[in-house]
Amino acid sequence: MEKKELKVQTHRYNPTVLEGMSKKFGLTKMYIRQILRGDRQATISDTIKKEYREMLAKIEEAIK
């Protein structure tokens, strides 16, 4: 019987966006990462997720 290897899925978040959101909301970067992964449910979770996607889209657009 073979052991199945389980891959741990890692998430990579843009550090510039995390830093800006950390300053804006007054939260730690770790806590924002947890919210984005879905590990934490805060009252502001939806707002943080939405703003992260918007800021990331602006950065990607500026790069192009």
0.75 surpassed by pTM: yes
Mean pLDDT of the chain: 89
Reported as a pLDDT band with limits 50, 70 and 90, residue 58 is very high
pLDDT at position 2? 63
Q: How much is the CA Rg of the chain, to the nearest whole Å?
A: 15
pLDDT at position 46? 94
Q: How many C-beta atoms lie closer than 10 Å to residue 44's C-beta? A: 11
All residues at 6 or more sequence positions from 28 whose CB lies less than 8 Å from its CB, including other chains? 22
The tens digit of pLDDT for each residue in 2-12 reads 667 777 777 78
The tens digit of pLDDT for each residue in 23-38 reads 999 999 999 999 999 9
